[in-house]
Amino acid sequence: MASVRFRTRLDLLKAIVEMVFGWGGLDRREWRQFQDRCSRQTALPAWYPYLKPDRHQVWNRFSKEERARSAKALRRYFEAVVDAPTLDLNQLFFRAFEQQGANFLAELLPDFKRRIRSESWSEVISALASFFQTEHAEPRYDPKKSGSTRRSSFRGIKNVRFAKEFKASLRRYPPGGRSGWQLVWHMIRSGAALAQWDYDFGKALCDIGVLEFLEKSDSTDPADTLRAWEIRRDRFSQFVAVLSGVGWNTFDYVLRDLGYPGCLYLFKVDSTNDALIERIGSPINRDRSKYLDVLSDSGILDQYPVAVVNMAIYAFCSSSCLGFIERVAPSTAGYEFRFQ
């Protein structure tokens, strides 16, 4: 089987970043269409300048058809997140519940927003928070009570304002994925947790100092990456903890695509990133500090911020994008990428 070899982890990780962020040379038509969309944006993510209209030499080993398919996959990946800086922060709040196949912002929530004639996403959060009663207030999710609009938790909100509209939206756009109904349950609970900030996620981020941290942080010094994570963990863990079903990985994902310089410090250690790090010889068990240590020791953070590396690994390895993780393996000479 043909392969390309990399002597060090740095060489491998650098190739992954440059293959993903330098995808513009794979298919010029796809790249132009992506750039046309970006040119219409009023603001772009902090990681956007790292995208290049180049083509890493490894791509030359792929067929023209494979490069075209990869370009389409990468375009879809980046287009799905490049508009984040233009979104209302309260709209962005709902990205925390886009997991395991559920995408409430695509259909369910816009439909509910139209039904209640809401003028803002903060009003949507407030409406959802009003459903925080009966089984929604219990400490654990129970699918027997909250797994459909006919279960007791939804019958219990029958007389709550906008309950009829929400159930109608749920019937029209049933929660998808393995845990869609559980994500709805978490979404309601997290909305209720924003009561002291008038159900305004942006106000909460401002009041507790998250936005100030992102505005003032400078990610140009790689030695600061671990310190930045430790500072965020110490300062904001109490807030993250009150958001039901939202851990640090999800919280960083929600804010990562904004335009603040500190967003380049944000990352998530999901199963995809964890699997690659283990595959190249360092099991970390999704430990965020260990993940940063491995990247730092490799030297990749001297060249790219962690958010860029993190996104590149996900896009490179995930089956929903390039799906190349099975092609990466240790070898006697370091690491290799195998071609099919």
- DSSP code string of 170-234: HHHS---STTHHHHHHHHHHHHHHTGGGTT-HHHHHHHHTHHHHHHH--TT-TTHHHHHHHHHHH
- The continuous run of DSSP H or E covering 283 comes out as none
Give the pLDDT score at 146.
63
Mean pLDDT of the chain: 90
Residue 139 structure tokens: 């400490």
| Helix and strand element counts for the chain (H, E) | 17, 3
pTM of the entire predicted model: 0.91
Contact 241, 190 (CB under 8 A): no
Please identify every stretch of the chain with a pLDDT value under 50, giving residue numbers as ranges. none
* Residue 178, pLDDT score: 61
329 beta partners = 336
- Six-digit token pair at 162? 């906008």
Burial class for 92, CB neighbours closer than 10 Å (0-12, 13-18, 19+): buried
CA triple 286-290-291, angle to 5 deg? 65
| Residue spans per domain, the chain | 3-82+267-338, 89-197
